[in-house]
Amino acid sequence: MDDAATLQRFETGAALRAACRAGIWDRPTSGLAQGFQQGNIVILPRALADDFLRYCTRNPKPAPILGVSEPGDPSLPTLGADIDIRTDVPRYRVFRDGEPAEILTDLNALWRDDFVTFVLGCSFSFETALLRAAIPVRHIEAGRNVPMYKTNIETQSAGPFGGPMVVSMRPFTPADAIRAIVLSSYLPQAHGAPVHLGDPSAIGIADIATPDFGEAPDIHEGDVPVFWACGVTPQSAIRHARPPIAITHEPGHMLVTDLRADIG
Amino acid sequence: MDDAATLQRFETGAALRAACRAGIWDRPTSGLAQGFQQGNIVILPRALADDFLRYCTRNPKPAPILGVSEPGDPSLPTLGADIDIRTDVPRYRVFRDGEPAEILTDLNALWRDDFVTFVLGCSFSFETALLRAAIPVRHIEAGRNVPMYKTNIETQSAGPFGGPMVVSMRPFTPADAIRAIVLSSYLPQAHGAPVHLGDPSAIGIADIATPDFGEAPDIHEGDVPVFWACGVTPQSAIRHARPPIAITHEPGHMLVTDLRADIG
């Protein structure tokens, strides 16, 4: 299936989820079902879910809550009428004792009656808004993944969840940086306004050329680096908490919801 | 009259204008009649007013239009029920052939039946919003006037009006810079979002320590300089146009309106 055909086939979140459920799509979701909000997934046993929910509410920039399931219920009716979280994400990452252990394409064998699913906002809808506003996004133009960095900004902890904030970095001309800052402030569910700009060392980043996650940045002469709270932060909090089991999406392989990815 | 008494006496735009009209107030208006929008004043003969109106509409960041009078009419009913622009500003600056010629406290002797008054937004309501949001404003803390600079950013010309944009600069911590940028984007009538941040030389400012207007900046370690379009720009456009006569307020001595200085 070529790219144009893929884009046409997966015009909606429902179409993409159906393909995941049928086992015919297990690839990244970036650029698919444009206009629909995509989400980071965290699945935890009920015994840890209350702590994690407080962690998210205390850290709304890295972990904006789009939805939370009832314990044991694989549906998320506020995000999409037919969602089955056991099958509707392209790829899952299973953490055991805080470390990645397996990659799966469904959770049928692992599902438990005490699992609670969290869906957290991601930056795709923000990047779509930047491109619609004709603000160049360097890593997209370079065909790379966004660079991400561990910082010295501590998240607000809750129970065993805590640890440093992870940020994504996008460089812009100063004028575009201002527009990007204002635009992102309208999208709190896609991490909202940035947390830092300028000097990377002020937030504990020793070498901007060497990100901790993603790919090396493409910074043009005169660009200002702008740093947003990143959805990788909750995975960092899981490593910090070391729960016996936790399940996330595999990075880039998101749940695509029926929510519109517009202002709000 | 001590400062507390001054503040209490001039709680509204109407009270301050009445004091100017009675000849008992000819000092700056910064910090007075808090919550009411203050405005830059430009008065031009009708023959030049159309060009200047187009100049303002083409340059809304340095010259946001709050109101325009009918030719020869000293009232501005959309900005305040009783405004008489000939008497209600603390001090006026008269330009002849584009150069400052006189400072007056009323325009009774100079008024002409073809004069058109423009009232343009100023940054005071923005600075009030910063202080309310607990964002430190360095020049206010240092008891100084804001530093202002000529730039290499050309305004969009209209008739004889044109020339470079003048900017004001406020330094902030990076996190406060982000908040100030978002906040100012909600205040288009107070120059809106900034036009630049970071490297001053990128907009033609050779030495940030030596502003062209106002006082030297107070920049703390780690601060990011942020640059907003400035209401001095229209005075620069008058120098550029060299009209036989033009009248402005004396800097800092603004018209205080009845408009609320809130969001919008």
Of A182, A195, A197, which has the smallest distance from its Cβ to B193's Cβ?
A182
Give the tokens for residue A22: 């049928």
Residue type, position A109, single letter: A
pLDDT of residue B125: 82
Q: Which of A135, A153, A176, A178 should one mutate to test binding to chain B, selecting the residue with the greatest count of B CBs within 10 A?
A: A178
> B174-185 vs A174-185: helix axis angle to the nearest 10?
70
**Minimal CA separation from B195 to chain A, in Å:** 6
| CATH-assigned architecture of domain A3-121+240-258 | 3-Layer(aba) Sandwich (3.40)
B199, closest residue in chain A (CA to CA) = A222
Partner-chain contact A197 B174, CB within 8 Å? yes
Q: Is the model's pLDDT at A263 over the cut of 80?
A: no
Task: Decide which of B8 and B151 is more confident.
Answer: B151
Give the tokens for residue B213: 């207007």
SS3 A28: coil
Chain A touched by B187 (CB under 8 Å): no
Query: Measured between beta carbons, which residues in chain B are less than 8 angstroms from residue A224?
Result: 197-198
The CATH fold assigned to B3-122+235-258 is PSTPO5379-like (3.40.1640)
Q: Which CATH number fits domain B124-233: 3.90.550.10, 3.30.420.40, 3.30.470.20, 3.30.2040.10?
A: 3.30.2040.10
Query: Measured between beta carbons, which residues in chain A are less than 8 angstroms from residue B195?
Result: 175, 178
The Cα A157–Cα A182 span in angstroms is 28
The Cα B131–Cα B210 span in angstroms is 25
pLDDT interval class at A264 (50, 70, 90): very low
Q: Is the model's pLDDT at B257 over the cut of 90?
A: yes
Query: Measured between beta carbons, which residues in chain B are less than 8 angstroms from residue A61?
Result: none
Partner-chain contact A197 B182, CB within 8 Å? no
ipTM of the complex: 0.85
Strand partners, A94: A102, A247
Q: Which residues contact B82 (CB under 8 A, 6 or more apart)?
A: B14, B17
Give the tokens for residue A155: 């998240």
Q: How many CB atoms lie within 10 A of CB A25?
A: 23
Write out the CATH class of domain A124-234. Answer: alpha beta
Query: Measured between beta carbons, which residues in chain A are less than 8 angstroms from residue B193?
Result: 178-179, 182
* Domain ranges within chain A, ordered by starting residue: 3-121+240-258, 124-234
DSSP secondary structure letters along B56-100: HHH-TTTS-EEEEPPTT----TTT-TT--TTTSSS-EEEEETTEE
pLDDT interval class at A169 (50, 70, 90): very high
* B27 neighbors B102 (Cβ within 8 angstroms): no
Average pLDDT over residues B190-194: 96
Q: Is the model's pLDDT at B264 over the cut of 70?
A: no
pLDDT interval class at A115 (50, 70, 90): very high
pLDDT interval class at B3 (50, 70, 90): low
Partner-chain contact B199 A178, CB within 8 Å? no
The Cα B218–Cα A183 span in angstroms is 29
pLDDT of residue A7: 65
Residue type, position B97, single letter: D
Q: Give the residue among A145, A146, A163 at the shortest CA–CA distance from A154.
A: A163
